[in-house]
Chains A and B, each alone.
Chain A
Amino acid sequence: MNLLLGISNGDLAITAVLTGIGLVFAALLIARFISPRSFSVKKSEPYECGIPTRGESMLQFKVGYYLFAILFLVFDVETVFLYPWAVICRSLGPDGLLAIAVFMFILILGLAYAWRKGALKWQ
């Protein structure tokens, strides 16, 4: 519950989301009314260097990006586990520190493995 008004945080978050949607929708509506509209075949071509696009544009892509996405997934899920610990770190004391050290060691081991395997090298 939000402390200020009797509105739950969920309702406020929905309000914020609807505000964003409303902003885009209203601005588009205004633009539709006051902006000119015309049509020509050449104008609707994709913006390239002047020559028509060769082949498909929505194509399969360089695998290097995929590798970093996978790495990110692994590390992000692991850092999510750190959040609950971070909140109560102070009250856990030295024992908690030792326990999280083991977890962190595994995390760093994963990074070291990826590094050694050459996954962090862009090619």
Chain B
Amino acid sequence: MFDFSVVTTWINNLLIGCMPGWAAVLVECIIIALCVLGAYTVLALFYILYERKLCAWFQCRLGPMRVGYWGLLQVFADMFKILIKELIPLKGTDKFLFKLAPYVIITSSVTMLACLPWGRGMQIINYNIGIFFILAVSSVGILGILLAGWASNNKYTLIGAMRSGAQMVSYELSLGLAIITMVVFAGTMNIEEIVWAQDGGWFIFTGHIPAIIACIIYVIAATAETNRGPFDLPEAEHELTAGYHTEYSGIHFGFFYLAEYLNLFIVSGIASLMFLGGWMPFHVNGWDGFNAVMDYIPGIVWFVAKAFFFSFVIIWFKWTFPRVRIDQMLALEWKYLMPLALANLVLMAVCTTLGWHF
């Protein structure tokens, strides 16, 4: 498997060779920032097309077909359109908070994106409590949504933000518990080590029944966490217009749109690294030839493919299930998912301590 740290070490040595240490660090930080920005934009553009095409196919339509071959340039046209739309100044809004909200949301999603491991040695922020850091940053995003809803001086946005806040904080519990379950199994919170722990087999295969239950809980909680699918009641268009971002126009609205798609990728990415082994290729014990072929596929392809698979499942939910009511949503979390996640955690702890796993 190709180790990307060869490239980063080479760049590092090259820079240190021709400039003082602090300047090298500065240049490296700028390169990293540009890479993150590029990944962010490409993913956002891809996800808009991905969702629109999938949505169309689920409904037996073709989706965007006119702009460019097979509608491929549609997202660029949308992006440009959103940039040239007017930013409408509104009466009675809390101007500072109104403008702060997109910064908070985008910053939290960019920081989470920088924590994901794209391949061997292709990880930017690598704390030893990596997964905990991601969860902590993801809860900052909720603040942005609450700010947006509160500052807009509109009752729709206020209700949307409150629903969103209640939903996201509730589902963060079972999301966290599902992740703790896998942390118990992996024995570490460092993302890179979690991926390395799946060298012999992905956690969903080696982790026995608790890993499968944790995966199902995680996918449901992640759907709610990204305000999507059957849990999109903060944006229920027939009752709240567009929820917390009703009052935002032009590129301001675009930021919420971007962050929503990026959060979809990030939760799928976390799912792929916790359950499907991140950038680890698929191996079957004993099939040496097959394993060698799998090793040729680069890690970044494995990671992105797994993340896209989870995104597909979450988008599939959206077009399959009808929207839930708020009491049903809260009951699902507090009365079913969270007790189940706690019981599953205990089960996993027992299995791990007593060594009952494959």
Query: Chain A: residues with CB nearer than 8 A to chain B?
Result: 2-7, 9, 11-13, 15-24, 27-28, 30-32, 34-39, 43-48, 53, 57-59, 61-62, 65, 68-69, 71-72, 75-76, 79, 82-83, 86-94, 96-97, 100-101, 104, 107-108, 111, 115, 120-122
- Choice from A7, A30, A36 contacting B29 with Cβ under 8 Å: A7
Inside 8 A of A31's CB, which chain B residues have their CB?
A: 83-85, 87, 250-251
Pick the 6 closest A-B CB pairs, nearest first: A20-B107, A122-B327, A20-B110, A16-B114, A31-B251, A86-B183
Inside 8 A of B206's CB, which chain A residues have their CB?
A: none
Could you name 20 residue pairs across A and B whose Cβ atoms are closer than 8 Å? A4-B12, A7-B28, A11-B25, A11-B29, A12-B125, A13-B111, A16-B114, A20-B109, A23-B110, A30-B251, A35-B83, A37-B86, A44-B91, A46-B247, A90-B352, A97-B349, A101-B346, A115-B335, A120-B331, A122-B327
A100 to B180, CA, bound (A): 13
A80 to B175, CA, bound (A): 13
Count chain B residues whose beta carbon lies closer than 8 angstroms to a beta carbon of A.
90
Given contacts A83-B189, A104-B342, A104-B345, 5 further A-B contacts (CB under 8 A): A7-B25, A16-B33, A16-B36, A38-B86, A94-B353
A83 to B194, CA, bound (A): 15
Question: Would A120 and B346 count as touching, CB distance under 8 A?
Answer: no
B286 in the interface (beta carbon within 8 A): no
Question: Would A47 and B156 count as touching, CB distance under 8 A?
Answer: yes
Inside 8 A of B32's CB, which chain A residues have their CB?
A: 12, 15
- Choice from A17, A35, A76, A111 contacting B107 with Cβ under 8 Å: A17
B169 to chain A, nearest CB (A): 4
Question: Would A5 and B349 count as touching, CB distance under 8 A?
Answer: no
Most buried by B among A9, A48, A107: A9
Question: Would B87 and A21 count as touching, CB distance under 8 A?
Answer: no
A37 to chain B, nearest CB (A): 6
Per DSSP, are chain A's interface residues mostly helix, strand or loop, or mixed?
Answer: helix
Within 8 A of A (CB), among B178-234: 180, 183-184, 187-189
Question: Would A53 and B352 count as touching, CB distance under 8 A?
Answer: no
B236 to chain A, nearest CB (A): 15
Question: Would A79 and B173 count as touching, CB distance under 8 A?
Answer: yes
Question: Would B84 and A68 count as touching, CB distance under 8 A?
Answer: no
Inside 8 A of A24's CB, which chain B residues have their CB?
A: 102-103, 106-107, 255
A28 to chain B, nearest CB (A): 6
A15 to B320, CA, bound (A): 40
B260 in the interface (beta carbon within 8 A): no
Within 8 A of A (CB), among B78-137: 83-92, 94, 102-103, 106-111, 113-114, 121, 123-127, 129, 132
Inside 8 A of A82's CB, which chain B residues have their CB?
A: 177, 180, 345
A20 to B113, CA, bound (A): 10
Q: Whose C-beta in chain B lies nearest to the C-beta of A47?
A: B246
Question: Would A111 and B89 count as touching, CB distance under 8 A?
Answer: no
A70 to B27, CA, bound (A): 45
B172 in the interface (beta carbon within 8 A): yes
Inside 8 A of A46's CB, which chain B residues have their CB?
A: 90-92, 152-154, 247
A123 to B18, CA, bound (A): 67
B68 in the interface (beta carbon within 8 A): no
Q: Whose C-beta in chain A lies nearest to the C-beta of B90?
A: A44
Q: Whose C-beta in chain B lies nearest to the C-beta of A89?
A: B184
Question: Would B8 and A97 count as touching, CB distance under 8 A?
Answer: no
Inside 8 A of B36's CB, which chain A residues have their CB?
A: 16, 19
Q: Whose C-beta in chain A lies nearest to the C-beta of B88?
A: A43
The answer to whether A16 and B180 touch (CB under 8 A), given A7-B29, A47-B241, A62-B162, is no
Inside 8 A of B5's CB, which chain A residues have their CB?
A: 3-4
A21 to B177, CA, bound (A): 31
B37 in the interface (beta carbon within 8 A): yes
Question: Would A90 and B125 count as touching, CB distance under 8 A?
Answer: no
Inside 8 A of B326's CB, which chain A residues have their CB?
A: 122
Question: Would A35 and B86 count as touching, CB distance under 8 A?
Answer: yes
B176 in the interface (beta carbon within 8 A): yes
Inside 8 A of A91's CB, which chain B residues have their CB?
A: 187
Q: Whose C-beta in chain B lies nearest to the C-beta of A123?
A: B327
A6 to B83, CA, bound (A): 38
